[in-house]
Every structure is written in structure tokens, then in C-alpha cells.
Amino acid sequence: MKAAYQEATAFAPATVANVACGFDVLGFALESPGDEVTVHVTRKPGVQIIAVESDNGLPTSHLPLHPHKNTAGGAILALLEGIQAKFGVEVHIRKRMPAGSGMGSSAASAAAAVVAVNALLEEPLALEQLVDFGMKGEAIASGSEHADNVAPAIIGGIVLIRGYHPIDLVRIDPPNNLYCTIIRPHCAISTKAARELLPKQIPLQTAITQWGNLAGLIAGLIRGDDGLIARSLHDVIVEPYRAALIPGFYALKEAALNAGALGCSISGSGPSLFALSTSENIARAVGTAMYAVCADMHIDSTVYVSRLAHGGSRVLSVH
């Protein structure tokens, strides 16, 4: 496939994966923050990452420029191979959130990268078709292909991954009154390390409880039933193992619930926590309460408040 344009820039948002009870099968997009990726067509095949930069002071020197070791580069390589591209690309990445934050940083770069390259094409693919390629980039960061970050980063909304072979996505429009608070303690957790903590087998009763919570959460989101959402935002499989990685996890969760959140759990692999609330005012109060807990523990942190996004990645410019 040939390129119809020479350069494109795309944005992809932060995401919350797992959403408490939906490990590897549920995620949603935020309106902000997010990453931007610019791609420029070259005659030389393949991918060359020119720079990974940040305009808000985030460290980027540790992020690899080799395309096979970078989530954006890996995703683009998979896409170029998949479409049998007759061109290569140079890549500039602008990070707006740190790696290992639990906010889908690696997925945002992969998503923005494939959406930017797709915008160059004579016959662009549908956004849903890009998820497979984005997953290839995600595997570089996590050690396995999973779509609960990259799918909502690309197509937006709340996304249920019904199956992986082949990928089967169910997109749900988020309730308009639902806001997300994220608190990011200033430490990093390796996604690979966090996955290695998890048990290989779980008791049947534990699985039944989790299935009920996931089904209830999906039904609550579709119906806009705040009570059902609150009753369902519980994780009995992953959270008990990963909570120990996050300083003050249970104090942060208690603060969020006391401030009015419907529920609170680990965002992705952590160390960030997310909480869902029924208004922006409550979401900001939740953020203030959790920030105070971190401050009491002398832990620096950053709070984000965002409506759940209906949209995902978007092309900012193409020429």
C-alpha cells in the first residue's frame, strides 16, 4: 500500500485498564492527558524513531529509540508489514504521562503511532482494524498482547474485549455524568513485574464472584445505574496481589469512597488509582482527599480529573 500524504500527527488519550473487575478485558478512555506522535514518510523501508520528548518535564531519556524495543515503533512495524507498505517512516513521540504510571502510557504511544501512519494511507483502515497492530506494540511493554488499554485509546469509550482469537471488541458509550479521578503517586511499577505477581489458578468461587461483578458493571454502565456500578466495582482476583506494590493503597481507596466515589481500584498495573464519580465536583473532591493521603505519607503525587471520553485517538494534522 502507498502513502497519499507525507506527514501526519495523531493524539491518543490516557486509559484505565481492568476497571477493577475486568482484568485484560475491560478499559475506558479519558479526555486527557494523552500522547502525540508525528510520522514522516521516508523512501527507506522500516521505522526510525528520531526523538522521544516531553513538553511537561517528564523524563524520557530512558525510553528506547530502537523500534523493536519501543511500543510506538513496534506497533508501526506491525502495521507496515500488515499493509505491505511501500514506504518507511520517521517518528517523533511526545509523552504527556510517564511510563509505568498505570495510565496506559505505552498504549497511548502505540495507538497514536498507528493512527498517524493510517492517516497517511491512500486507503486508511477502520480504527477497529488498528487495534491488532497496537497490541503488538503493547506486548513490548507488558510481555503479552492485551487490548484493554490500546483498544479504548484507539476507538474511545468503554471497551469490552469479548475475545482475543480473533479480537472481538464491544464498545459502550460512557454515561455522560461519569467522571474519573486518577491519582498517580510519583513512582513506577513495571507492567511485566505486576503481571508476574498474579496467580496462575484461582478458586472457582472467586471466579464466580468476579464474573458477577464484571457482568454487573457492564449492565450498570449500559443502564446508567449508579448503584449497580458501585456494587460491581470490586476486584477479588488482581487487587489483593497488587495492592502491596502501592504505598498507602487501602488508605487512598478509603479516602476516595468517603469523599463520594462510586468505587476505587488500581488503574492498570498501578501505581495509579482510579475512582469513578457521578459529577465533576465529586471527582475533584475525591482527588483532593486522595492527594491529602499521599501528602500525609510524604509521597509526591499528581491528580487528574476527566470525563470518560466518547472519542479515542484522533488525527491532529495531515499533509
The answer to whether residue 241 sits within a structural domain is yes
Spell out the residues 6+ positions from residue 284 whose beta carbon is closer than 8 angstroms to its own.
Answer: 181, 305
The answer to whether residue 1 sits within a structural domain is no
Residues 225 and 103 in one domain: no
pLDDT tens per residue, the chain (319 residues)? Answer: 888 899 999 999 999 999 999 999 999 999 989 999 999 999 989 999 999 888 766 666 677 788 899 999 999 999 999 999 989 999 999 998 877 788 999 999 999 999 999 999 999 999 999 999 999 988 887 777 889 999 999 999 999 999 998 999 999 999 999 999 999 999 878 777 778 888 899 999 999 999 999 999 999 999 999 999 999 999 999 999 999 889 999 999 999 999 999 999 999 988 999 999 999 999 999 999 999 999 999 999 999 999 999 999 999 999 9
Q: Which of 181, 191, 278, 302 is catalytic?
A: 191
Residues 128 and 169 in one domain: yes
User: Is 191 a residue of the active site?
Assistant: yes
Residues 38 and 116 in one domain: yes
Residues 216 and 246 in one domain: yes
Report the domain count for the chain.
2
The answer to whether residue 221 sits within a structural domain is yes
Residues 112 and 232 in one domain: no
The answer to whether residue 152 sits within a structural domain is yes
Residues 49 and 74 in one domain: yes
Q: Which of 15, 36, 71, 138 is catalytic?
A: 138
Residues 17 and 125 in one domain: yes
Residues 184 and 229 in one domain: yes
The answer to whether residue 103 sits within a structural domain is yes
Residues 130 and 278 in one domain: no
Q: pLDDT, tens digit, for every residue of 189-212?
A: 877 777 888 889 999 999 999 999
Residues 101 and 194 in one domain: no
Torsion of Cα atoms, 168 then 173 then 179 then 184, to 10°: 20
User: Is 42 a residue of the active site?
Assistant: no
Residues 140 and 200 in one domain: no
Residues 314 and 249 in one domain: no
Q: pLDDT, tens digit, for every residue of 246-304?
A: 999 999 999 999 999 999 999 998 899 999 999 999 999 999 999 999 999 999 999 99
| Cβ contact 95:70 at 8 Å | no
The answer to whether residue 2 sits within a structural domain is no
CATH number of the structural domain spanning residue 107: 3.30.230.10
The answer to whether residue 63 sits within a structural domain is yes
The parent domain of residue 251 ranges over: 179-307
CATH number of the structural domain spanning residue 199: 3.30.70.890
